[in-house]
A and B are shown apart, each in its own frame.
Chain A
């Protein structure tokens, strides 16, 4: 009897021990799992950015390629194999864990397409609602505003073709339903309104579109032709949200080459934080290669404004913000690796350096003053599980090697090959690429190795201009090699050409409208004066390049008429 009791007692103790152990392991694993889910939550940083490392590059693609050649729907009719294989799925380098998650979302997507069919008309009506409330309030400055005048110009008044269900990225309801976090706790509306005086509750308890957080309105507004419409009022407020909303959690973005943080706001919106590394006046040293250049927070912000002024609208909204490193990063992060790198400098400032492959060391620590740190906050694109993106290798990608040259640098007829290769042989893709070339040349960004599109829209859609941190590095130098696609192909959209000409005119001078636009940001002034002046200088170089093309070729061969015929875009679809 006694023995049995003792044994039972032993078993009991063993059980307790076992339970304690399991709990311990669970608690230990939880943060890791959480981080992993953050990692696989596709965000705008794009899956390719890990490929900066010059040496690892070739291997990386070697792995991706076979996957894509096996993809159906990719005709193998041309000889330029490398070009054909440019596309790669951003999800291809996710962990098996997240692949599972993705395969699950395919079903979800299908089911939500069905939903869409039922509720389609209502959603489009909702969309119209957003668009009708056209505002330009941000630019209603006192006195004469060049920026407001620019946006009033007929060249900026073109509207996208009528949108069908296939042209919008999201059905309004499904985005919320399938956003796991927002779906879990429907109380985000309350959180959103906490700060505001007027609290909006729908009598039915159903969320009305006006009560959606601005990041969601931004996501809903994405369509085949643009990331956001000129009239979408949510963009201005989203910019303000980025700069002011309370930050709930911070995680380090893994896989990137330079330190980036993922911030989650109280309304479940997320943003990518790039800290300030250089002062406004500092130039990239002349001996730095493009792949060793720093990422600049002010370049991210300025790129968004430049893209909007060029009327491309292909950069997700970015705001500047002074972040309190103690309260808004250190105290709320559960990332132990990040936490470990915090220290107090000899000058009593709070510093940290994080973990990444480029410039994450004590020598490059980011220090506040004493704890205020400047940075850029870029709004996240919709989760990859909801809106898959395709990652394309830029045909004019650089070698990312100290001594090697890329093919386009040695072959003057390189564009002829590209023109014959899908997807550049049809639609507006090549012209979109040249738009991006102009955009990159204006800011001096040599680091455009990949670009992304939304998979839903196929090949007839715009290019997302992500990762602009390496622009605005040198104001004394114009890197002409960035313009090579334009020079080699001698093609440009008429709408782009007309706007570039407009921005070279005194009353709409690019540098002045940029200055005015950037003035709206909290961290203004964002660009050192010589950078602004360089914009005008480079704009003239672009226009001269087009003129040179016009001398050699006929007008219609160079300038693609996407302007006069209002249904030009319809034709391409």
Chain B
């Protein structure tokens, strides 16, 4: 499949070409090939044994779909290509394969997410900010043993977040997950795990294949004869209703799983620009203008590279309008130098008519930006590479039609201008040399 014109032009621009040939890729990979494939082979075999036993015990006549071991499975390729630089290499075709794979692969089982299981059915209805395990999401397992997280459609594309909603009660949007992945790729951050849209058959691809009784329990048939499922806690607390298919099919986002925590442990770090998650409370950064000066003296942000990564994250979140970035994750293996994972973007793209400038606080408080990022942002503001155009092209690859409505796409251009403006104001105040930073190698970071 040839790339659409503008997007292809963007990706062939020098700024999107490998720049540092000195670092041999294999030395900085997250996983070892032998260990990863070996463990994969073992787990497939174990899984099939278990399912066969279960199937025999149930005496069911339905044909059993067994998991297949496949070394060239896209999800495995994706895991093997994760390096210190990013989640996936620029030139890799794996991402495209992964999107097709998630959109089409046969689902063999479904389950609740581990953080929902960890809640153990407990649910405090008086809690204003409920833990992430209370959101409706389902883990789907494919025939080649790969997994993806399914987040169903909650809101129609044209709907905006009501103006009286706080960021912590906002909806989770499946299209935001999809669009955030594409935006992250266009910005060349490559820190969002690949996400694809898919029409899922709630009955045959979730209800019929799950062995989890709790998951079966949340299914019902609505008065309009549609198959529905709900997130247990919010439903019990009457804070949200179920999501329903039409009558079986429901669209949602599938985001590819990262390598198991056993192989690649991750650290979850609180965002220094976290919000108060209360109605009236204010955080230190919201009232203290010299917050960044303090932060620069604090581990791990004494590391210049880490701080610059924070700036990237803020710019990314501002562009999608995500105020709910309370934590970010990094791979333990790569230490403080490692990139940040931009996961859980479902609360972005809620309001196209509003730009939440406070999300940019890291940038205007620290007055820092990576040179690479700065050059790419400028490039994307030029008509021949306009951000909304390349986004539209990129999103057209997805199986779901019109992932983002036009107003949201155009808001990206407007917000990009605001980012550029904020940086330019910084440059005027502090001079280009102290604002726009070369990321450099390890030496440069050490001096920072």
Residues of A at the B interface (CB closer than 8 Å) are 285-290, 292, 343-347, 349, 351, 357-365, 367, 402-403
Highest count of chain A CB atoms <10 Å: which of B166, B222, B237, B238: B238
- Closest Cβ neighbor of B240 among chain A residues: A363
Q: Interface readout for B220-243 with A: 1 if CB under 8 Å, 0 if not?
A: 111110101000001001111110
Query: Nearest residue in B to A346 (C-beta to C-beta)?
Result: B166
Q: Is the CB of A357 within 8 A of B238?
A: yes
| Residue ranges of B at the interface with A (Cβ–Cβ < 8 Å) | 125, 128, 163-167, 169, 220-224, 226, 228, 234, 237-242, 244, 279-280
Complex Cα gap A361–B128 (Å)? 8
Contact (Cβ within 8 A) B163 A346: yes
The answer on a CB contact under 8 Å between B164 and A361 is no
Report yes or no: A361 in contact with B125, Cβ–Cβ below 8 A: yes
Q: A362 touching B128 by the CB < 8 A rule?
A: yes
- Which A residues are CB-close (under 8 A) to B279? 343-344
**Additional A-B contact list (18), CB under 8 Å, known A346-B165, A362-B128, A362-B239:** A286-B226, A287-B222, A287-B241, A289-B222, A292-B241, A344-B280, A345-B166, A346-B164, A347-B163, A349-B164, A357-B238, A358-B238, A359-B238, A361-B128, A361-B237, A361-B238, A363-B234, A403-B221
List 10 A–B pairs whose Cβ atoms lie within 8 Å, in order of A's numbering: A287-B242, A288-B223, A292-B241, A344-B279, A346-B167, A347-B164, A357-B238, A358-B238, A362-B239, A363-B169
Interface centre among B223, B237, B240, by most A CB within 10 Å?
B223
Which residues of chain B are within 8 angstroms of A403 by Cβ–Cβ distance?
220-221
Contacting pair A287 B239 (CB below 8 A) = no
Q: A287-B224, A289-B223, A361-B125 are in contact. Are A345 and B163 (CB under 8 A)?
A: yes
Question: B residues within 8 A CB of A363?
Answer: 165, 169, 234, 239-240
A205 to B210, CA, bound (A): 78
Q: Which A residues are in CB contact (< 8 Å) with B234? A: 363
- In the complex, what residues of B have CB within 8 A of residue A367's CB? 164
Does A351 lie within 8 Å of B164, measured CB to CB? yes
Q: Which of A287, A292, A358 interacts with B226 by CB under 8 Å? A: A287
Min Cβ gap B165→A in Å is 7
A364 contacts B239, C-beta separation under 8 Å:
yes
Given contacts A343-B279, A359-B238, contact A402 B164 (CB under 8 A): no
Cα distance A361–B165 in the bound complex, in angstroms: 12
Q: How far is the CB of A357 from chain B (nearest CB, A)?
A: 7
A288 touches B241 (CB 8 A): yes
> Which B residue sits closest to A287, measured CB to CB?
B222
- Chain B residues with CB under 8 Å of A288's CB are 222-223, 241
Contact A286 B223 (CB under 8 A): yes
- Which of B128, B164, B220: most chain A CB closer than 10 A? B164
Bound CA–CA A343/B278 (angstroms):
10
Bound state CA distance, A365 and B279, in angstroms?
12
| A286 lies within 8 A of B224 (CB) | yes
A343 CB contact (under 8 Å) in B238, B239, B280: B280
A346 and B161 CA atoms in complex are apart in Å by 12
Q: Tell me the bound Cα distance from A334 to B165 in angstroms.
A: 27
A344 to B244, CA, bound (A): 32
A157 to B217, CA, bound (A): 57
Instruction: Give the 8 A-B CB pairs with smallest separation, nearest first.
Output: A287-B222, A345-B164, A343-B279, A286-B224, A347-B163, A367-B164, A361-B239, A287-B244
Question: Contact at A365–B220, with CB atoms within 8 Å?
Answer: no
* Shortest distance between the CB of A476 and any CB in chain B (Å): 12
Complex: A344 Cα to B165 Cα, angstroms = 10
What residue of chain A has the Cβ atom nearest to residue B356's Cβ?
A346
Which residues of A have CB within 8 Å of B167? Answer: 346
Query: Which residues of A lie under 8 Å from residue B164 when comparing CB positions?
Result: 345-347, 349, 351, 365, 367
Would you give the shortest CB distance from B156 to chain A, in whole angstroms? Answer: 11
Assembled-state Cα–Cα distance A444/B77 (Å): 57
Cα separation A452 to B238 with both chains bound (whole Å): 28
Q: With contacts A287-B242, A343-B279, A345-B164 known, is A362 near B169, CB below 8 A? A: yes
In angstroms, how far is the closest chain A Cβ from the Cβ of B160? Answer: 12
Q: Output the least CB separation between B31 and chain A (Å).
A: 40
In the complex the two chains form, what is the Cα distance from A82 to B223 in whole Å?
A: 27
Task: Name the residue of chain B whose CB is nearest to the CB of A365.
Answer: B164
Smallest CB separation, B215 vs chain A (Å): 16
- Cα of A39 to Cα of B381 in the assembled complex, Å: 63
Which residue of chain B is the closest to A350 with respect to CB atoms?
A: B164
Give the chain B neighbours of A347 by CB distance below 8 A. 163-164
Residues of A within 8 A of B238 (CB): 292, 357-361, 364
Given contacts A361-B237, A361-B238, A363-B239, are A286 and B166 in contact (CB under 8 A)? no
B382 to chain A, nearest CB (A): 34
The closest CB in chain A to the CB of B223 belongs to A289
Closest to A359 in B: B238
B125 to chain A: which residues have CB within 8 Å?
361
Query: Which of B169, B234, B280 is the most central at the interface, judged by chain A CB atoms within 10 Å of its CB?
Result: B169
Q: Collect the chain A residues with CB atoms within 8 Å of residue B239's CB.
A: 359, 361-364
| Alpha-carbon separation in the docked complex, A365 to B242 (Å) | 19
| Contact partners of B240 in chain A: CB under 8 A | 363
**CB-CB < 8 A to B166: which residues of A?**
345-346, 362
A507 CB to closest chain B CB, in angstroms? 37
Once the chains are docked, how many angstroms separate the CA of A286 from the CA of B125?
Answer: 26
Kindly name the residue among A287, A361, A363 whose own CB sees the greatest number of chain B CB atoms within 10 A.
A287
A349 neighbours in B (Cβ, 8 Å) = 163-164
CB-CB under 8 A from A362, the residues of chain B are: 128, 166, 169, 239
Chain B hits for A359, CB < 8 A: 238-239
- Report chain A residues within 8 Å CB of B165: 345-346, 363
Cα distance A489–B333 when bound, in Å? 76
- Report which of B169, B223, B237 forms a contact with A287, defined as CB distance below 8 A: B223
Closest Cβ of chain B to A330, distance in Å, is 14
Contact A287-B163, Cβ < 8 Å, known A361-B237, A363-B240, A403-B220 = no
Kindly report which residue of chain B lies nearest to residue A290, judged by CB atoms.
Answer: B223
Least CB separation from B161: chain A residue: A346
From B234, which residue of chain A is reached at the shortest CB distance? Answer: A363
Minimum CB–CB distance for A181 against chain B, Å: 33
Cα-based distance from A344 to B220 in the complex (angstroms): 37
Report the nearest A residue to B167, measured CB to CB.
Answer: A346
Task: Report whether A287 and B128 are in contact in the complex, using a CB–CB cutoff of 8 Å.
Answer: no
Residue of A nearest to B226 (CB): A287
Nearest-CB residue, chain A, relative to B244: A287
- Whole-angstrom CA separation of A459 from B360 in the bound complex: 70
Cα(A50)–Cα(B94), bound, Å: 56
Docked Cα-Cα span, A314 to B280, in Å, equals 46
- Which of A285, A344, A346, A357 is B241 in contact with, Cβ under 8 Å? A285
Complex Cα gap A285–B228 (Å): 13
Q: Which chain A residues lie closer than 8 Å to B280 at the CB level?
A: 343-344
CB distance from A284 to the nearest CB of B (A): 10
> Which residues of chain A are near B241, meaning CB under 8 Å?
285, 287-288, 292
In this complex, which of A347, A362, A365, A367 has the most chain B Cβ atoms within 10 angstroms of its Cβ? A362
Q: Which residues of B contact A351 (CB under 8 A)?
A: 164
CA distance A364 to B162 in the complex (A): 11
Chain B contacts for A361, CB-based, 8 A: 125, 128, 237-239
